[in-house]
Amino acid sequence: MGDLITGLFMGVFSGKMVVLPALILLIPPSIGLRGNIYASLGSRLSSYLHTGRIAAKFEFNPKIADNVYSSSFLLLLFSILIGFIAAKIAILMGLANNFWELVLDLTIISTLSGFLSIVFMLPSTLILAIGSYKWGWDPDNLTAPMITLFGDLITLPLIFLCVDIIFLTKFYLKIILICIVIVFLILTFIQSVRSKEEIAKRVTKESLPILLFCLIIQFGAGTILGAEIESLITITGLLTIIPAFLEDGGAMGGILSAKFSTMLHLGILTPNLKIDSRVLPHFVSMHLLGIVTFAMVGLFGQIVNVMLNLPTISTLKLILVTIVAGQILIVLLNFMSYYFSILSFMKGLDPDNVGIPLITSLMDVLGSFCLILALKLFNVI
């Protein structure tokens, strides 16, 4: 049902991408960044709960506070980078002409939407992780899919809201908005480095290079979609399935990555390059889950298309496209989630800081590639 709402957002606001085509470059990394940071936060909280490092109580805890400071700092920092890189790629692809004006506009859209998302994403992540454990659920099964869904539901409307803001805002007000975000960036950084706990420093240190690498990867998704922007705008109904398809791919990868991380922390899974037989049922379950999930992505997308009277393809073909693309994606997802968790653990890194960001970022790129591939296989574009 959440996928239906994200598809509605994409369909309703698709006209804004006609006015500002560079926006297609901004959406995948912005959505991915929320998922990377907050799904990792949820995975860390899950590991803390499973290993007894924090209690399942809604109360102040230095370990949780450190995670909040470091997560907020990373979100704001990379939101600024997203705006700058998106503008550069847009110029290279011929989607815009004035570089510095585009840098300012895209950076405001990215940072302001990121800043506003903190208000919603942080409480949601804490309530979901601690609450699910407290009420007898395994957070590993809930945090990744639900947080990526919340990321889409919050990020897309905030991005489109910020597009309207920059169209109505004068130059000097844009500068003030950027300055406000930078002030909060500095404050969260100071809180992270001043902490007596090592958690904030470790999260920031380990996450910075991983998120930077992920950011570059996620722009690959925007570039792949940007290269087909004319076809996607012509058949607008295809845009409605993109957020849900990428979101669900990242969610399933997040579930596997969080599960393997917890198994490694508890000693259930031995860090070995040879795939453990206990892992295979998880691989199979992802393929079975993928058949149902990606079929629903196609069906829900078509419901949105009919509701909004958007140009689309036949329902059967759209469902087949999403299923085929999803199954190709899951093959890649299974192996990457396992080896990213194993290799990071073997190198002395926390898989919670490494696995989910890499998986969700690669899922955006590989998901975009698999979706475009399937559309070409069925002669849609």
Nearest to 292 by CA among 331, 244, 326, 334: 326
To the nearest 10°, report the CA torsion of 52, 57, 60, 63.
Answer: 20
φ/ψ (deg, to 5) at 147: -70, -40
Q: At what angle do helices 351-377 and 23-50 cross, to 10 degrees?
A: 140
pLDDT one-digit tens code per residue, 53-97 = 888 887 777 788 888 888 888 888 988 888 888 888 888 877 777
pLDDT one-digit tens code per residue, 194-243 = 766 677 777 777 778 878 877 777 776 666 666 666 666 667 778 778 87
pLDDT one-digit tens code per residue, 5-61 = 776 777 677 677 767 777 877 877 887 787 778 878 888 888 888 888 888 887 777
pTM: 0.69
Query: In the chain, what's the furthest Cα-to-Cα distance?
Result: 60
Q: How many CB atoms lie within 10 A of CB 60?
A: 7
pLDDT one-digit tens code per residue, 157-198 = 888 888 888 888 888 888 888 888 888 888 888 887 776 667
For the chain, give every domain's residue range. 2-377
pLDDT one-digit tens code per residue, 288-338 = 999 999 999 999 888 888 888 888 888 999 999 999 999 999 999 888 888
